[in-house]
Structure 1
Amino acid sequence: MKALLRDAPLLAGATLLLLVALLMPPVPLPRNVADTVLVFDITQSMDVEDAQIDGAPVSRLEFARAAARRALRELPCGSRVGWAAFTEYRTLLLLAPIEVCENYNDLLATLAEIDGRIRWGNASEVAKGVFWALRAAKELQGKPAILFLTDGHESPPLTAFPRFDDVQAGQVRGWLLGIGAGVPQPIPRTDAEGNRIGYWRAGDVLQRNVPAGQPPSREHLSELREPHLRALAAQTGLGYSALRDPGQLAALMRDPQLARRASVATDLRAVPALLALALLCVYFRPDAFGGGRPRLSRTSGT
């Protein structure tokens, strides 16, 4: 009986902590969160299937979307993500950045619609598209970072970087993320509904002018154009990285140099719940002689 009275505060404390865990509201705490717009290159070269997910070949665009889906699962609440699409020479904002936890299903649903069916042209002037993306980020509230997912394939071939005097290098933070392999592959040709109707041939696209005796231009084939993307990154003040694994994207979006500090409602109910569990473990501990907690027993008398 004395042991029970001695340990009663433990049981009362555990009960109180469990009530706190049940009733405790989220607590605003400062933390680093992502604030980004993901720009998807939806040109036809992104339909080349030279990327891999779990060892299976997939198109570059599907790889980019898979990386985005995984990032949505891993970003902390309070992060904001938006979508944009690049084709022809422009980048258009599809969805301004919104909070990931409250809008998770909406973000997934809109991401699933980003494919060749919304392509409005067949050109692929990536350098111009990057500058259009930087322009869009400058005009958005909070100036989110830009992560531009592309293979770097320019069509028609680029002769010089375009100039956009209203966008200075380093004004917008972000990354150019290269997708694809280094071996040139035929580019699938698709109709307005996204149905494959063959492959682009040499006579169908504008080729580079090459000096006599040099290998012919092969702009109808596509591979990851890393040297071009590195030069473009240097021109714009963005970083460059090849995206080899879908898990890399979430890590890049959480880059401390891109993150912003925000007050985020944080669920701390686990703290009092764990403290309650610790008190209960102490309350139900075996006694020092291994006999266990004494139990009250009924006794009969005359």
Structure 2
Amino acid sequence: MNIWLRRFIKHRDSALLALALVFLLAAILRPSIPFKHNIYTYLLVADISQSMNASDMTLRGKKVTRLEYMQNMMHEIVASLPCDTKVSIGLFAGNSVAAMYAPIEVCKNFAAIQDTIEHLDWRMAWSGNSRLRESLFVTAKVVRGMSEPAQVVYFTDGEEAPKLHAFNTKSLEEFQGGNDWIFVGIGTEEGVAIPKLSEDNQVIGYWSNESFAMQPGIAQISESTLGVRDDNVATGEHDRYISKLASEYMESLTQEIGAKYVKGDSTYHVLQAMKSQPPARRDIAPLPLSWIFATLAGLCVLGMYASRHPMRQIKQNLKIYRQEIKSRLFTKSEAVAHDNHFQ
């Protein structure tokens, strides 16, 4: 062992160069080892029903709609997710949810995901109603139909339109799914009117109280077949329907299905809730080792330029620096004395 160590010290530069080449070749081969790790996949469901056009949220000191606030929060969440996380964007309207695409890796497809969020619009909705309770069955079916398991993060104000009563409240006793889902409440409890917009996004009135009412006995039939809201427009403030964040309703709903409710007043709180979710699945994936060999090669190259006797070299450098400082000070003092002599 001592013989090999002495030979290495004697031919240190050549040995380090050879080692650097070996490590570089190893890095080029891109070796890896199997590693079991958590895989996080999310279906981010965006409520695009017309109640999301209510302006009761504040963003950067400016009043914005719930939809705009939700888009900003989704942008921030996607930007905060680590690489290898997969994301799909879903749309909620009427009594159903539709996924826009299968889950895709967030870093490789970052621009595409953010562009999808940027172009969310209430005009993409296929129904004027919003039946959150009934949409849960469709959401679970969408998740089961994906190529891989996914956790659901549902952004909504919890508005049920038309309002629920004994005739149109769907039972969740047979519901399968919802475990560890997150419902994010978008909106405030101050209460604002819901604007009715034209196809050009111009306000033409406000939704009336009658728009959210249905006659008992025909609610189930109307919702399952027509799925449209009463088209009345309020003419005065006393006729307008006042929309609020349905926090109590969503807390009750999430308890029924084993999900979690988070008020969407902070992106940080939503991200913390997402971190508490169990991973969508665990799988074996290759753990790359190239960076380790590349680092070792770099250290070998640096070692070639290091002194054989580092402490001796440091002492010599300090001695040279002291001598140089003394010489400069001596030269400066002589120059000052010379100037004083001639004055």
1:274 aligns with 2:282: no
What is the identity, as a one-letter code, of the residue corresponding to 1:228? Y
Q: Which residue of 2 aligns with 1:153?
A: 159
1:13 aligns with 2:36: no
Q: Which residue of 2 aligns with 1:196?
A: 202
Offset at 1:5? 2.7
Offset at 1:126? 1.8
User: Cα–Cα, structure 1 residues 7 and 67, in superposed 2: closer, same or farther, change >3 Å?
Assistant: same
> What fraction of aligned residue pairs are identical, expressed as a percent?
26
Q: Which residue of 1 aligns with 2:188?
A: 181
Q: Residue 32 of structure 1 contacts residue 256 of structure 1 at CA under 8 Å; is this kept in 2?
A: no
Q: Residue 180 of structure 2 contacts residue 277 of structure 2 at CA under 8 Å; is this kept in 1?
A: no
Give, in whole Å, the separation in 2 of the partners of 1:280 and 1:105.
39
What is the identity, as a one-letter code, of the residue corresponding to 1:189? K
Give, in whole Å, the separation in 2 of the partners of 1:15 and 1:4.
19
What is the identity, as a one-letter code, of the residue corresponding to 1:163? S
Q: Which residue of 2 aligns with 1:37?
A: 43
Q: Equivalences for 1:1-302 in 2 at 5 Å?
A: 5-24=11-30, 29-160=35-166, 161-164=169-172, 166-168=174-176, 170=177, 172-193=179-200, 195-203=201-209, 205-206=211-212, 220-286=241-307, 287-289=310-312, 290=314, 291=316
Higher relative contact order (CA 8 A, sep 6+): 1
Offset at 1:246? 3.0
SS across alignment from 1:180: coil
Per-residue deviation, residues 208-249 of structure 1 (Å, max 9, x unmatched): 99xxxxxxx997222221111100101122111112233444
SS across alignment from 1:177: strand
Q: TM-score, normalised by structure 2?
A: 0.69
Q: Which moved more, 1:23-32 or 1:174-183?
A: 23-32
Give, in whole Å, the separation in 2 of the partners of 1:285 and 1:88.
71
User: Cα–Cα, structure 1 residues 172 and 140, in superposed 2: closer, same or farther, change >3 Å?
Assistant: farther
What is the identity, as a one-letter code, of the residue corresponding to 1:51? M
User: Cα–Cα, structure 1 residues 256 and 285, in superposed 2: closer, same or farther, change >3 Å?
Assistant: farther
Structure number, greater radius of gyration: 2
Per-residue deviation, residues 158-180 of structure 1 (Å, max 9, x unmatched): 22541256523x56541111112
Give, in whole Å, the separation in 1 of the partners of 2:212 and 2:251.
23
User: Cα–Cα, structure 1 residues 250 and 206, in superposed 2: closer, same or farther, change >3 Å?
Assistant: closer
Q: Residue 137 of structure 1 contacts residue 172 of structure 1 at CA under 8 Å; is this kept in 2?
A: no
User: Cα–Cα, structure 1 residues 178 and 9, in superposed 2: closer, same or farther, change >3 Å?
Assistant: same
Q: Which residue of 1 aligns with 2:335?
A: none
SS across alignment from 2:311: coil
Q: Residue 36 of structure 2 contacts residue 284 of structure 2 at CA under 8 Å; is this kept in 1?
A: yes
Q: Which moved more, 1:218-227 or 1:81-90?
A: 218-227
SS across alignment from 1:205: helix
Q: Residue 125 of structure 1 contacts residue 154 of structure 1 at CA under 8 Å; is this kept in 2?
A: yes
Offset at 1:187? 1.8
Query: 1 or 2, which has the higher helix percentage?
Result: 2
Give, in whole Å, the separation in 2 of the partners of 1:91 and 1:102.
25
Offset at 1:14? 3.3
Q: Where do 5+ consecutive residues of structure 1 fail to align? A: 210-216, 293-302
User: Cα–Cα, structure 1 residues 31 and 261, in superposed 2: closer, same or farther, change >3 Å?
Assistant: same
User: Cα–Cα, structure 1 residues 75 and 262, in superposed 2: closer, same or farther, change >3 Å?
Assistant: farther
Q: Which residue of 1 aligns with 2:224?
A: none
SS across alignment from 2:101: strand
Per-residue deviation, residues 100-140 of structure 1 (Å, max 9, x unmatched): 34444443343333321211222222222233212322343
Per-residue deviation, residues 39-66 of structure 1 (Å, max 9, x unmatched): 1110112123333445554332233333
Give, in whole Å, the separation in 2 of the partners of 1:52 and 1:31.
39
User: Cα–Cα, structure 1 residues 158 and 256, in superposed 2: closer, same or farther, change >3 Å?
Assistant: closer
Give, in whole Å, the separation in 2 of the partners of 1:20 and 1:144.
37
Q: TM-score, normalised by structure 1?
A: 0.77
Give, in whole Å, the separation in 1 of the partners of 2:14 and 2:142.
63
Q: Residue 172 of structure 2 contacts residue 256 of structure 2 at CA under 8 Å; is this kept in 1?
A: no
User: Cα–Cα, structure 1 residues 3 and 91, in superposed 2: closer, same or farther, change >3 Å?
Assistant: closer
User: Cα–Cα, structure 1 residues 283 and 257, in superposed 2: closer, same or farther, change >3 Å?
Assistant: same
User: Cα–Cα, structure 1 residues 136 and 108, in superposed 2: closer, same or farther, change >3 Å?
Assistant: same
What is the identity, as a one-letter code, of the residue corresponding to 2:46? F
